[in-house]
Chains A and B, each alone.
Chain A
Amino acid sequence: MRGHERSMRNMNIMKPKNALKTIKRIISYMKPYRAHMVLVVICVLISVASNIAATYFLKPLFNRYIIPYIGQQNPDLSEFIKTILVMGIIYTIGVLATYTYNRLMVTVTTGTLYRIRIELFSHMQTLPIRFFDTHTHGELMSRYTNDTDALRNMLSQSFVNIFQSMLTVSGVFIAMLLLSPLLTGIVVLMLVIMVFIIKKLGSKSGKFFREQQMAVGKVNGYIEELIEGQKVVKVFCHENKVKADFDKLNGELFEAAKQANTFASMLRPIMGNLSYIHYSITAIAGAVMSITTGFDIGSLASFLQYTRSFSQPITMMSEQFNSILMALAGAERIFDMLDQEPETDEGFVSLVNAEKTEKGEIRESSKRTGIWAWKIPKDDGGAEYIEVKGDIRFNNVVFGYEKDKTVLSGITLYAKPGQKIAFVGSTGAGKTTVTNLLNRFYDVPEGAILYDGIPINNIKKKDLRRSLSMVLQDTHLFSGTVMENIRYGRLDATDEEVIEAAKLANADSFIRHLPQGYDTLITADGMNLSQGQRQLIAIARAAVADSPVLILDEATSSIDTRTEALIEKGMDKLMEGRTVFVIAHRLSTVRNANAIIVLENGSIVERGDHEDLIKQGGRYYQLYTGLLELA
């Protein structure tokens, strides 16, 4: 299924929607290199001119300085030498120009790519979670890899090549016209034939190329799925069946790839040899003209050289054409991502360190004091401070990830400062959604969430999130040392504070057992740590952040019950004085919560503390005693 979707996407990789607009936008990224580009254009002009001159000088050389002197004993070669010298100078300039524009283009290309990459990444950081929900990682990743790569090819090669080819073709054409309008007629005829062939081959190879992309999608999808499930294949001795299925898909890919490659690689020999045929015809016609009308041999020599340098740039252009289309389509996808609306933030309340005066008033502090305050700016330029306590209220919150699918319908709940609130319910009941709304990964369309009495929409997102520490079920650690990973919670934490947090999470002992202790590198896929150990590090990371509100979303799901019992003390200490939201699969984790909220289908069906709920004998009782399945 996924393979199919992927191949459907690949169908469109070839064609840009609005090429002109995209080119303009790419050029706008090259603006800082305006001076470079002007120089590039000049150098390309010089380079092409010297290339044309290289051929053109054969004519005067033959006619004026060689033919008249044939057979002479002491020919006057001074003019001959002069011409050779002049040509030498022109050539040298040409070579220098070629080097210069190539060198300049390298700077322009790498610089432009750098800018686009940085902008893409920075912009990605501002995009709402919703964007990441609706795009696969592979899809976004290919913006940075395939699309950027195609763009790099276009910038570093195609741009200059096409420009150069166009110049050469027109330059050569004019030169030919000057030499012999009659022979140029043959050129025009050949040109028509060439364009016809390019079009024909182009559409054929395009069709097979798309087929190949589909087949590649299918084969890669199959490989991905089967390699991921390889151990199951082994356990069921299914190797032969899998091999047969693979052979079928692999065979289909071969057929499509064969055709696509054939037509793509035929272009060059066909065009090359057409140019030889052209050469032959011109030679015959030229020879006939030379006999009948006295057309000079020098001109014929030059003209024949031109026929060779005429077809090459045309072949080049037709080859570049496809890669340019691909690059433009890729650029469009990059720009499309850049045009995505960033997360909106209309907040004006900020989070500041605070201290209490003797009178009990809250005052802003420049140091970290362990006390925070919300700073609400007033019209007169002053500010009002409210101490951050961690009082959270949901008033009649309605929410759905998609328009007509409600996930939460009218949730009202409160958490008083320092309380531990637990959410219980099966998958899809809306537990995680509640926390997603609290940190504004998603915005609430209906109802309100108040944080110490302030609507959370009024709080700057950055500050809101800083006031909440989260431990997610799918703990993600970054490649780097263990120390760096824990410090991710608060960048200015000292080594001692990090170790303190690790001890709190009961992670210290296993970290010390790692080969390099706290300096052990965690690899990207975290192969060297078990899921449980990763969760312990994630807990330490949240502990070091030291925020007034703590959210634990299945934070201990991969830790076995014995270890969980061991970290309980640390967790209790961590939760002390903080408002805590706990989502847990295992109900032993939530037992000591001040309030347990049982969610079902987006509504609260029960609430109360453990004893109350057990006494009620309702849903929670059933869950707790294992009468119901929690999926």
Chain B
Amino acid sequence: MIRKLFRYIGKYKIYAVLAPAAVIIEVFLEVNIPRIMAKIVDIGISNRDLDYILKMGTLMIIMAVTSLVMGALAARFASIAGTGFAKEIRKNMFYKIQDYSFANMDKFSTASLITRLTSDVTNAQMTFMMMIRMMIRAPIMLIMATFMAVSLNARLSAVFMVAIPFMGIALYFIATRAYPKFRTMFKKLDRLNAVIQENLIGIRVVKAFVRGEYEEEKFRDIADQVRETQLRAEQIVIWNMPVMQFAMYGCMLAISWFGGNLIISGDMLEGELMGFISYVTQILMSLMMISMVFVMLIISKASVTRIAEVLDEKPDITEKPGSEGIPVKDGSIRFENVSFGYGGPEGNKVLENINLNIESGEVVGIIGGTGSAKTTLVQLIPRLYDVIDGKVYVSGRDVRDYSLKTLRNAVAMVLQKNVLFSGTIKENLKWGNENASDEEIIEACKAAQAHDFIMSFPNGYDTVLGQGGVNVSGGQKQRLCIARALLKKPKIIILDDSTSAVDTVTDAKIRKALKKYLAGTTVIIIAQRIASVIDADKIIVMDDGKINAVGSHETLLETNPIYREVYESQHQGVVEYAGA
């Protein structure tokens, strides 16, 4: 599974190769040391040859030091490869998300994307690092140590014929049986965390309804399940240690008995037996390691899958080849038999058969209840979503003919759920136009009626905004977002309920200023308040995914019942008391 991600490693590949290479040398040395030890005892001591002992001893130390250096290098290389791998994965994911369309974004929730980019990547990194160090080390250690043992004494190494399959089977059973139990446990743990999270967010509701004890009971129940499943999972894993010990002790006893007999009959030397025993440890340890890697791989599978999902997602809005140079000439918009649904062609249609014509430079208002698809309609213009059926034309051309950059620079959109980023006000405004001069910025802010309140801050345009623009009020935030969009000097500007927190007088001022600032620009205003659209060239009344009526304020008031209802629900009082 993780192999799928391996191709993203890029320039750190060399380290992913060097680390196992260093490990191989390290293991080779490590395996040979017991053999030399055996020689020291059997040849050096039996012959009372001090020279030989010193020579071999020095050789051993040299080998150990080399092995130490190799081990340290392997650690270094593995760290570079592992963290580099994580870096590249994070980068590729982040880049990929930048290429996502709105529809792609909708598929994943924000929270899940963040988890995938953070903790899932960390998990993958850990698994990867462990893999490049252990996956090579353990099998090689196993093979080499077995080889050494066999070459020391082939008859005695028959012991491993029993021990290795025994360990292998036991560890396999433990790992495969524990995995589903752990998965259940993690699911319960997720549920537990969800309950806590809900209680943190809804603590006021819990307290207001005096439901503390009720929530506690809910929590106790799920905590109990967590304990239960955890117990069941760990119960299996704890078999690892005793099984390992059992195999080890079993080998020791068998080797002592058979080896002892071999020594007595003169077929084996004492030193050889001692060396042999060292190999027992190495062989069994490497089996343990293999099972550990195996378990890690299984556990990280979920994270790796989630990462792969992000990377494999195909951005569903792509540019036509050759769209690069085509400019948007004017701000005319035409919808031709447009149908659209968020679920694709098979899903529910949110918009059906929309036909609409907007001239360049017109001011258009859109009114309609919640869920009447006002936002959906305008999102098709800058191609945030692609139509399922029909065509959307901007400046006489299908929006799919333009490059996304050209189109979206020509069509500015102030989103309903808008966001400012941490940084200064000026930095935020420059999102609209990176090269905007101070004069241009001030001019846009004046049009959006934001200049005055910006100047009232001690640091003016250099005031630092917190994440999400927390230190400005709702109305101020909306005006900053409008100014940001104005700086694009677009051909079309769409304001999606973007003055809901602004008072009517300022709202009117903004509209008036826009007319001057954006002479010739098509303006589309989605609003809850009739007052915001009252002087538009035309007003579109949306109802349940269809255009119910198009007309001026006066005509609609006379002819359209929905429009009249909305108007009345907002204006009863004012009409009655306006003269008072």
Bound form: Cα–Cα A617–B405 in Å = 51
B37 contacts A279, CB within 8 Å?
yes
A372, CB-defined interface residue at 8 Å: no
| Residues A277 and B98 in contact in the complex (CB < 8 Å), given A1-B466, A250-B90 | no
B21 to chain A, nearest CB (A): 14
A71, CB-defined interface residue at 8 Å: yes
Which residues from chain A contact B278 at a C-beta distance below 8 Å? 308
Q: List B97-112 residues whose CB lies under 8 Å from chain A.
A: 97-102, 105, 109-111
Residue-wise interface mask of A (273-302) relative to B, using a CB-CB cutoff of 8 A (1 in contact, 0 not): 110110111011001101100000100110
Q: List B233-278 residues whose CB lies under 8 Å from chain A.
A: 234-235, 238-239, 241-242, 245-246, 248-250, 252-253, 256-257, 260-261, 263-264, 266, 270-271, 274, 277-278
Q: List B486-537 residues whose CB lies under 8 Å from chain A.
A: 488, 501-506, 528, 531
Which residues from chain B contact A251 at a C-beta distance below 8 Å? 87
Of B143-151, B196-204, B389-397, the one with at least 4 CB within 8 A of chain A: B196-204
B270 contacts A246, CB within 8 Å?
no
Which residues from chain B contact A110 at a C-beta distance below 8 Å? 227, 230-231, 234
A90 to chain B, nearest CB (A): 9
Which residues from chain B contact A225 at a C-beta distance below 8 Å? 421-422, 467-468
Which residues from chain A contact B350 at a C-beta distance below 8 Å? none
B223 contacts A66, CB within 8 Å?
no
Which residues from chain A contact B40 at a C-beta distance below 8 Å? 283-284, 287
A230 contacts B214, CB within 8 Å?
no
A563, CB-defined interface residue at 8 Å: yes
B323, CB-defined interface residue at 8 Å: no
B238 contacts A102, CB within 8 Å?
yes
A230 contacts B370, CB within 8 Å?
no
> Which of A122, A262, A491, A629: most chain B Cβ within 10 A?
A629
B84, CB-defined interface residue at 8 Å: yes
A561 contacts B503, CB within 8 Å?
no
Which residues from chain A contact B227 at a C-beta distance below 8 Å? 110-111, 113-114
B203 contacts A132, CB within 8 Å?
yes
B580, CB-defined interface residue at 8 Å: yes
A265 contacts B253, CB within 8 Å?
no
Residue-wise interface mask of B (409-432) relative to A, using a CB-CB cutoff of 8 A (1 in contact, 0 not): 100110101110110000000011
Q: Which residue of A lies closest to B277 (CB)?
A: A305
Size of interface on B: residues with Cβ below 8 Å to A: 161
B209 contacts A2, CB within 8 Å?
no
Bound form: Cα–Cα A140–B48 in Å = 70
| Residues A427 and B474 in contact in the complex (CB < 8 Å), given A238-B431, A246-B91 | yes
Which residues from chain B contact A270 at a C-beta distance below 8 Å? 68, 71-72
A232 contacts B61, CB within 8 Å?
no
Bound form: Cα–Cα A67–B198 in Å = 73
Bound form: Cα–Cα A532–B488 in Å = 33
A23, CB-defined interface residue at 8 Å: no
| Residues A257 and B95 in contact in the complex (CB < 8 Å), given A1-B422, A472-B205, A478-B202 | no
B80, CB-defined interface residue at 8 Å: yes
A262 contacts B580, CB within 8 Å?
no
B323 to chain A, nearest CB (A): 14
Bound form: Cα–Cα A353–B75 in Å = 71
Contacts between chains A and B (CB distance < 8 A), count: 422
| Residues A261 and B91 in contact in the complex (CB < 8 Å), given A236-B431, A427-B473 | no
Bound form: Cα–Cα A70–B216 in Å = 74
Bound form: Cα–Cα A558–B497 in Å = 12
Which residues from chain A contact B364 at a C-beta distance below 8 Å? none
Q: List A521-573 residues whose CB lies under 8 Å from chain B.
A: 524-525, 527, 530, 532, 541, 545, 558-565
B260 contacts A145, CB within 8 Å?
no
Q: Which residue of B lies closest to A269 (CB)?
A: B71
Q: List B43-96 residues whose CB lies under 8 Å from chain A.
A: 44-45, 48, 50, 53-54, 57, 60-61, 63-65, 67-68, 70-72, 74-76, 78-80, 82-84, 86-87, 90-91, 94-95
Q: Which residue of A lies closest to B48 (CB)?
A: A291
Majority-rule SS of B interface residues: helix
Q: List A188-227 residues whose CB lies under 8 Å from chain B.
A: 219-221, 223-227
A75, CB-defined interface residue at 8 Å: yes
B566, CB-defined interface residue at 8 Å: yes
A231, CB-defined interface residue at 8 Å: yes
From A1, A231, A525, A563, contact of B102 by CB (8 A): A231
B369, CB-defined interface residue at 8 Å: yes
Bound form: Cα–Cα A588–B253 in Å = 90
Residue-wise interface mask of B (105-137) relative to A, using a CB-CB cutoff of 8 A (1 in contact, 0 not): 100011101100110000000000100010000
B229 to chain A, nearest CB (A): 9
B459, CB-defined interface residue at 8 Å: no
Which residues from chain B contact A66 at a C-beta distance below 8 Å? 260, 263-264, 270
B266 contacts A227, CB within 8 Å?
no
Bound form: Cα–Cα A144–B196 in Å = 8
B64 contacts A121, CB within 8 Å?
no
B44 contacts A287, CB within 8 Å?
yes
B569, CB-defined interface residue at 8 Å: yes
A612 to chain B, nearest CB (A): 11
Which residues from chain A contact B64 at a C-beta distance below 8 Å? 273-274, 276-277, 279-280
A126 contacts B212, CB within 8 Å?
yes
A41, CB-defined interface residue at 8 Å: no
B573 contacts A624, CB within 8 Å?
yes
Majority-rule SS of A interface residues: helix
Q: Which residue of B lies closest to A265 (CB)?
A: B75
Bound form: Cα–Cα A629–B261 in Å = 99
Q: Which residue of B lies closest to A233 (CB)?
A: B98
Q: Which residue of A lies closest to B266 (CB)?
A: A71
B223 to chain A, nearest CB (A): 5
Size of interface on A: residues with Cβ below 8 Å to B: 158
B220, CB-defined interface residue at 8 Å: yes
Q: List B6-42 residues whose CB lies under 8 Å from chain A.
A: 26, 30, 33, 37, 40-41
| Residues A235 and B382 in contact in the complex (CB < 8 Å), given A94-B245, A591-B573 | yes
B300, CB-defined interface residue at 8 Å: no
B239 to chain A, nearest CB (A): 7
Bound form: Cα–Cα A242–B192 in Å = 35
A95 contacts B44, CB within 8 Å?
no
Which residues from chain B contact A228 at a C-beta distance below 8 Å? 110, 419, 468
A95 contacts B210, CB within 8 Å?
no
A272 contacts B235, CB within 8 Å?
no
| Residues A227 and B114 in contact in the complex (CB < 8 Å), given A106-B231, A251-B87, A545-B209 | yes
A137, CB-defined interface residue at 8 Å: yes
| Residues A253 and B473 in contact in the complex (CB < 8 Å), given A265-B129, A301-B270, A560-B369 | no
Which residues from chain A contact B421 at a C-beta distance below 8 Å? 225-226, 229
Bound form: Cα–Cα A242–B427 in Å = 13
B270 contacts A231, CB within 8 Å?
no
B204 contacts A297, CB within 8 Å?
no
B94 contacts A235, CB within 8 Å?
no
B161, CB-defined interface residue at 8 Å: no
A28, CB-defined interface residue at 8 Å: no
B437, CB-defined interface residue at 8 Å: no
From B200, B226, B245, contact of A98 by CB (8 A): B245
B503 contacts A129, CB within 8 Å?
no
B237 to chain A, nearest CB (A): 9
B15 to chain A, nearest CB (A): 10
Bound form: Cα–Cα A284–B54 in Å = 7
A2 contacts B467, CB within 8 Å?
yes
| Residues A67 and B270 in contact in the complex (CB < 8 Å), given A54-B249, A229-B421 | yes
Bound form: Cα–Cα A429–B200 in Å = 26
Besides A269-B68, A624-B577, A629-B475, 12 new A-B residue pairs in contact (Cβ under 8 A), listed by A number? A66-B260, A69-B264, A84-B256, A140-B200, A141-B200, A269-B26, A276-B68, A291-B48, A441-B207, A462-B210, A476-B202, A610-B573
Q: What are 23 A-B contacts with C-beta separation under 8 Å?
A: A2-B467, A61-B260, A77-B264, A80-B257, A95-B245, A106-B235, A125-B213, A141-B197, A223-B117, A223-B118, A237-B405, A270-B71, A291-B45, A300-B41, A301-B41, A304-B274, A470-B209, A478-B198, A562-B562, A587-B573, A626-B503, A627-B505, A631-B475
Closest 3 CB pairs of A and B: A269-B71, A626-B504, A629-B503
